[in-house]
Amino acid sequence: MELRYDYPDYKRMIEEQGKIFYGCRYKIQPVDDPPLHRMITYFIQDVEEARKENLHLGKGLMLCGRIGCGKTALMQIFAAMSGGEFAPQVVSTRQIVMDFNSKGHETIRKYSDRAFNPQTSLPIVYCFDGLGSERDGHYFGEVCNVMAEILIIRSEMSSPNRIITHATTQLDAEALEKKYGKNVRSCMRGMFNLIHFDPESPDKRY
């Protein structure tokens, strides 16, 4: 079955949005076509193509790749182009930990069991940017792996509440397990479709 969308046309629209966000030099490189293709398939919710790409449309995306390969930029672009409740809110994991350091467990609840739109009661889609780059949180002498707690709670709530979580990371599976433990790594398998950027993908920070 042929694709039900014009990939070059979508790529062109994404590049145009990228130029608005990041300047006229923004361009999708050919080496990034495979992960971009999978992201397009996911965000337009193309069931047939998702089956070919082994994408679970009920899970979120975890974009994996080296620094500067364009993971965060693409997630920001897709967030702007998606709109509505499906559009992810991209938030830095380092910022989340900084908030925990000043507000404590209120921050964990903000991104987990209280992550619902007050007007619609629908779950908020978050993309945790830079997963694994943050330090442990510290609040009045308590040391807490903040993102581990958030991920576990969102995983536990994902099925009954249809909570979708996205993430970007520079770490591989082993490093993520070392950072968060086996329990969280197991949760991640149920939460994310993995999308890998080629190690040769050029640095796009100008």
Residues 27-82 pLDDT 10s: 999 999 999 999 999 999 999 999 999 999 999 999 999 999 999 999 999 999 98
Taking 50 as the threshold, does the pLDDT of residue 1 lie above it? no
Q: Are 152 and 189 in contact (CB under 8 A)?
A: no
Q: Are 171 and 132 in contact (CB under 8 A)?
A: yes
Taking 60 as the threshold, does the pLDDT of residue 2 lie above it? no
Q: Which of 180, 175, 173 is nearest to 196 (CA)?
A: 173
Taking 90 as the threshold, does the pLDDT of residue 105 lie above it? yes
Is residue 122 classed exposed, middle or buried when 0-12, 13-18 and 19+ CB atoms within 10 A define those classes?
middle
Q: Which of 176, 157, 141 is nearest to 64 (CA)?
A: 176
pLDDT at position 130 is 98
Is the entire prediction scored with pTM above 0.85?
yes
Residue with tokens 């978050």: 126
> 173-187 burial by CB neighbour count: b if 16+ within 10 A, else e?
eeebbebbeeebbeb
Round the average pLDDT of the chain to a whole number and report it: 93
Residue 22 carries which side chain, given as an amino acid letter?
Y
What is the band of 158 on the pLDDT scale with cuts at 50, 70, 90?
confident
